[in-house]
Structures are given as structure tokens and as C-alpha cells.
């Protein structure tokens, strides 16, 4: 009966070379190590791409990237401003994601906030006292974001309308609404309405630092969202609904209410980001003012496994890449889109590496004997 001793068999088919199993538990160290390796590999590839295109030596490319993010005081402030805005947007989408509501409409929700803020500045600027205007701007922005979050949520909650596609469409509705506003606010047909028109309701600069307010808001928001998700009744309800709607119904959670409430919150925070962008920083609006951050935020949140604290790191990483690559393209006279390519490549690596954290790959080197340990491939 010993099969190994038997004569060679006619085998109709080869056994497949690779088999994949899910890891039962992922050690923290391994998870971190895999991600670190992925980022490193991505940086190497990005470096190689850059070198091929520029002929520069790799060190100077990385130095340039670093300079792009941390080169000088103002640059560092700008980097932190970018992180703050991206982080806030990511924090906004996270409650919805925890609920498994795939809100990819942050771009539109933020833009709605921008628009409402700009509208308030345009409509009431100079007419009412500045402090009142600032309040109205805040209320308008938050409300506009909340409404943009509310609409798909109502349909998802009541009729299970696909929220991914719905929120995606809402982005473009927001863009066109902004275009509409631009045409009204600036009769010259310009593509942007700037500080000359939006001249009132500028939020104060703290300690002479233009971006400090936003950074403080982001920090406070991170802590708040962290506690909201992990230590409040609402946060607990969100987790239950996200994990299992049946369980939520079983214990009497009103699933519809939670979906709608959470999306209002998500949208409202997006609206707040809009306020920070227009009222706090740019004092201008155009249809590209959010610049894809609503989409990047999805990646930030997802890469951090929806953990607000980890999101500070992932948003830092993405902003660093973007600004670094932006600097490289300026310095070497590239088109600004160069940074998109580099960001894309690095994202591919980070997205792909999750696989090696969650799954185990076995290579079946020929036919295994009983009890022989399997070879394991890790994420390098």
C-alpha cells in the first residue's frame, strides 16, 4: 500500500503549482514588515522610473522628493496643510466605511461644502457682520455636505440602491453645480472665482500661520472620530451594522436610522473640509478645488484599515509621495502629471501587499510526501 514505492503512474493532469490559504491570524510585526517592504519596493521602482526618464542619480531623486515635502519652513507648513485636509476627508469617509457603506462620493460632498461656503461668502459678504458670516458659512458648508451624504443614504436604507454608483454620480453633480455657481458669480466666464469676489468671511490665521487652524481641526477631529467609533454607542451601532445587518435587526438597532445618521455625519465632516478649504485657506473656488482628495481619502482610510490613528500615517505617506513627486517633476522639468504616475505605482504596491498579509501562498514543489512541511512564500 505504500504509494511512494509504486511504479510511476500515468498522471492525467499536473497538480497545480500554487495554492493559497487565508491566514488565521496575522501577527502585528508581520503586517508592519510586509507593508514596509512594499513601500520600500515601491520607492525603488519609482526611483528607477525617474532615473530612466531623467538620468539623474537615485540619491538626488530621493533628496528632491524629500525636499519637496520638507525642504523649508513654508514647504513643511504646506505639507502639513495637505495632510490635514486629506486626513479630515479620510476621517469623514471612515464611519461610512466601517458600516460597509462604500461612500466614494467624498469628492462631491467636500465640493458641496466648498460651494455652500463660497455661496455664503458671495451672497452675504459685506452685507452682514463678519462673525455672523463665518457662522453662516460654517452652517451652510456642513449642511450642504450632510445633504449630499443624506441623499444616497436614504435610498440605500430604504431601497438598497447601490451606494457606490450613486455617490460616484453625486460627485459630478457637485462639479456641475460649482460650474453653475462660477458662471453666476463671475460673469466674465472665468473658471475660478477668487479672493477678489470672495473677499469676506476669511477665517482668522492663528499665530500668523495660515494653515495652523486646519491642522488643529484635523488633530481634534482625529481624536473625536477615534473615540466616536470605538467608545460610543453610535460607534458600536456602526460596527454592528457593518458586520451584520441581521444581528443589528436582531438586537433592535434601527439599521435605516444608523445608515442615514452615519452618512449625514460623513457628509457633514466633508462639508466642514469644504469650509476649511474655501473659508480657511484658498478664499476661492473652482470645480477642481478638491483635486481628487475625496478619492485619495478612500485609499487613506482603507490602507489604515479604517483606524483613525493609523490614518495619520497613511495620509502622511500619500501626501509625502505626491509632494515629493511633484517636486521631482518641477525640478527636472516634467509635466506635473508625473507625480500621478509615481503615486499610482506606489499605490499598486501598497494595495497589492495586503494580499501577503492576509493570505499564505504555498508552492507545491512536485508531489509532497505526508508530513513534509510546505514551503511558504512571504511578501517580499
Name all contacts of 328-331 with Cβ < 8 Å and 24+ positions apart. Answer: 328/50, 328/61, 328/64, 328/65, 328/68, 330/68, 331/64
Q: How many CB atoms lie within 10 A of CB 52?
A: 8
Residues within window 124-143 making contact with other proteins, judged by CB under 8 A? none
Q: Is 355 in the site for other proteins (CB under 8 A)?
A: yes
Q: Is 188 in the site for other proteins (CB under 8 A)?
A: no
Which residues, other chains included, contact 29 with Cβ-Cβ below 8 Å and sequence gap of 6+? Answer: none
CA 369/CA 142 separation, integer angstroms:
64
Q: What minimum distance in Å lies between the beta carbon of 132 and other proteins?
A: 29
Q: What minimum distance in Å lies between the beta carbon of 11 and other proteins?
A: 6
Nearer to other proteins, 129 or 352 (CB): 352
Among 80, 101, 102, 203, the residue binding other proteins under the rule CB under 8 A is 102
Nearer to other proteins, 121 or 168 (CB): 168
Q: What minimum distance in Å lies between the beta carbon of 138 and other proteins?
A: 22
Count CA atoms within 13 Å of residue 20 on its CB side: 6
Q: Name which of 216, 195, 172 is nearest 278 in CA terms.
A: 195
Q: In what order do the strands lie in the sheet with 359-363?
A: 18-22, 359-363, 375-377
Residues within window 45-84 making contact with other proteins, judged by CB under 8 A? none
Nearer to other proteins, 254 or 330 (CB): 254
Give the single-character DSSP code of 24.
S
Q: Which stretch binds other proteins (CB under 8 A): 239-247, 265-273, 278-286, 305-313?
A: 239-247
Nearer to other proteins, 217 or 303 (CB): 303
CA 247/CA 35 separation, integer angstroms:
33
Residues within window 140-169 making contact with other proteins, judged by CB under 8 A? 155, 159-162, 164-166, 168-169
| Residue recorded with cell 438597532 | 253
Q: Is 191 in the site for other proteins (CB under 8 A)?
A: no
Site track 325-344 with other proteins (rule: CB under 8 A), x = hit: ---------xxxxxxxx-xx
Query: What are the start-end ranges of the H helices in 286-337?
Result: 293-303, 308-331
Q: What minimum distance in Å lies between the beta carbon of 37 and other proteins?
A: 15
Q: Is 378 in the site for other proteins (CB under 8 A)?
A: no
Q: Is 370 in the site for other proteins (CB under 8 A)?
A: yes
Amino acid at each position: 500500500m505504500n504509494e511512494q514505492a509504486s511504479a510511476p503512474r500515468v498522471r492525467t493532469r499536473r497538480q497545480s503549482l500554487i495554492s493559497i490559504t487565508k491566514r488565521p491570524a496575522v501577527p502585528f510585526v508581520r503586517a508592519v514588515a510586509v507593508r514596509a517592504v512594499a513601500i520600500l519596493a515601491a520607492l525603488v521602482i519609482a526611483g528607477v522610473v525617474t532615473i530612466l526618464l531623467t538620468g539623474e542619480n537615485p540619491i538626488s531623486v530621493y533628496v528632491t522628493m524629500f525636499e519637496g515635502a520638507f525642504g523649508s519652513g513654508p514647504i513643511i507648513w504646506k505639507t502639513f496643510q495637505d495632510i490635514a485636509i486629506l486626513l479630515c476627508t479620510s476621517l469623514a469617509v471612515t464611519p461610512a466605511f466601517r458600516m460597509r457603506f462604500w461612500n466614494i462620493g467624498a469628492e462631491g460632498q467636500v465640493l458641496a461644502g466648498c460651494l455652500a461656503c463660497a455661496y455664503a461668502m458671495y451672497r452675504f459678504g459685506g452685507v452682514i457682520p463678519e462673525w455672523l458670516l463665518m457662522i453662516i458659512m460654517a452652517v451652510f458648508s456642513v449642511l450642504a455636505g450632510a445633504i449630499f451624504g443624506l441623499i444616497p443614504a436614504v435610498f440605500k436604507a430604504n431601497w438598497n440602491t447601490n451606494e457606490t454608483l450613486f455617490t460616484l454620480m453625486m460627485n459630478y453633480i457637485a462639479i456641475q453645480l460649482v460650474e453653475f455657481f462660477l458662471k453666476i458669480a463671475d460673469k466674465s466666464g472665468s473658471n475660478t472665482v477668487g479672493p477678489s469676489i470672495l473677499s469676506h468671511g476669511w477665517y482668522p490665521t492663528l499665530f500668523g500661520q495660515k494653515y495652523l487652524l486646519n491642522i488643529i481641526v484635523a488633530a481634534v477631529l482625529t481624536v473625536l472620530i477615534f473615540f466616536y467609533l470605538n467608545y460610543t454607542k453610535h460607534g458600536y451601532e456602526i460596527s454592528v451594522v457593518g458586520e451584520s445587518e441581521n444581528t443589528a435587526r436582531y438586537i433592535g438597532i434601527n439599521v435605516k436610522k444608523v445608515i442615514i445618521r452615519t452618512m449625514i455625519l460623513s457628509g457633514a465632516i466633508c462639508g466642514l473640509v469644504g469650509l476649511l478649504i474655501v473659508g480657511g485657506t484658498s478664499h476661492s473656488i473652482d470645480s477642481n478645488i478638491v483635486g481628487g482628495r475625496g478619492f485619495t481619502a478612500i485609499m487613506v482610510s482603507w490602507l489604515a484599515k479604517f483606524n483613525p490613528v493609523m490614518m495619520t500615517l497613511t495620509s502622511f505617506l500619500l501626501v509625502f509621495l505626491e509632494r515629493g513627486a511633484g517636486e521631482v517633476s518641477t525640478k527636472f522639468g516634467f509635466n506635473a502629471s508625473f507625480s500621478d504616475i509615481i503615486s499610482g505605482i506606489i499605490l499598486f504596491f501598497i494595495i497589492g501587499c495586503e494580499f501577503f498579509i492576509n493570505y499564505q501562498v504555498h508552492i507545491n514543489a512536485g508531489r509532497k510526501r505526508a508530513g513534509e512541511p510546505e514551503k511558504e512564500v512571504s511578501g517580499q
